[in-house]
Structure 1
């Protein structure tokens, strides 16, 4: 059994191509509709060429169920970010263009001041395009999604305004968005993205600016302390009234703010005191640091004083 082999899953009717094989004996199979299904090697069997020769080519799932570029004419309801369940553990992310306009689209995930591009393509009217997968149980750790849309106007007509949306998915609200997804005609979770735009009165705007006449000021970058204490008692009053998730959010915001200021002000290193606790804050800080290219290295430090409760960050 090798990457690229076509296999059939024994506990279901799915067939697909092996995309990944781990040393633990697990495989990832891409089935006909593009979804990735994890399985054990023992749960799959290779489909040999002899089988196809004897029984004839089976009509593929993609031929039967493949989502066409446009299932029906768009209702001109706008642009959607949609999450389609693959199973009870995984979701596929789609951009849905249920409008009469073609768009150039750019989707990225945001980590503080850093971004990673997930999708950058044309999204035609009436089209749905998958651009990523996500694990449901990790929803609390999902970064924000930044989505930008630039209308394509092939003929001379009144200009349509580009727009962007940044969305942070919250589990408490996510499951309230269950509905039938436009274009795909499948059940899933959808978020409407288009913002209403308003034409600007340029003359009136200029008059207001002239009356205000603000002087441009450049605020100096505040250089943080070399040692930043992230214990919640140091950050907010009465933390005992806060939930664990709210405490973690505030601590991570304080961490990112001070790290960004340290980078912008040219500091070579900074230490974050996060405490030992249950290790969640330390793990999340190390995870975010590992995703940044301008960090030379980071390590546990001051073990004699803090144990594993402090992290030294060396900035390139």
Structure 2
């Protein structure tokens, strides 16, 4: 018998360490391995030093050379969103299952993606029917994205409006100081986009706010002509005296302030609808007079507020044939609450 009670042994077939706890005969002992006792023949056991000797490495393996962080090549991050150059809103639909196991859109996760070379500072308003629900101010760096919010899908039926005001983090003389952009998603339109997205197997759909940050608007002064009739006479045209025109209304001011307290003293007794109606009526009358007097450059002060008056003014300007262009950007006198108008 080569084993005694208390000897440490190795079970050959499982290579597990154990201990002899009893002698059962000349060729059999009772072994305990990890709390379990069982009989084993002595030729199925071995002393542990044979295992230690056979598993010991005669030669140490060469350790790989150390790598320092500056030696590791930085991998380029693949673009998260396959969108063209510009500033984008990216919408990720969040799906769930209904009782019929069909996919249902619960909400939209919205990101602002800046695929331009300019870092942008921005202000964001989420409005419902002209009332501000959420306001946010932050920055989105060049070639980066910014998580805006989650919006429940059912809220698209409440006429949401995403309004932005952008400026460059690093100002440039040739670029506009501020730029405004608005997106008004329609429930039916978004639903169609989601259906197309599901057919293509895409994860998101997009809406572009602008392709590049705009340049500063240049206003060229019109040449002054003291006596246009003398210029016609010198050019060979016959100029005769005509009838004297009747004394018409004077030209309107080039700046119109639509704050309600500037238009009436009785505004405290007016409803919101009555105030808006008066403001738009005065704006239309002023614009008509400006066109009659061939004025080219105007300003209308509508304030910031909920944005409803500004929105209505811009809609009216879009429908006027004589309006060449208009822009709403920061002005040192009027701040963000005015729109600059150029007539044809």
Tell me, yes or no, whether TM beats 0.5. no
Q: Which has the higher Rg, Structure 1 or Structure 2?
A: 2
Q: What TM-score does the superposition give when structure 2 sets the normalisation length?
A: 0.29
Q: What TM-score does the superposition give when structure 1 sets the normalisation length?
A: 0.32
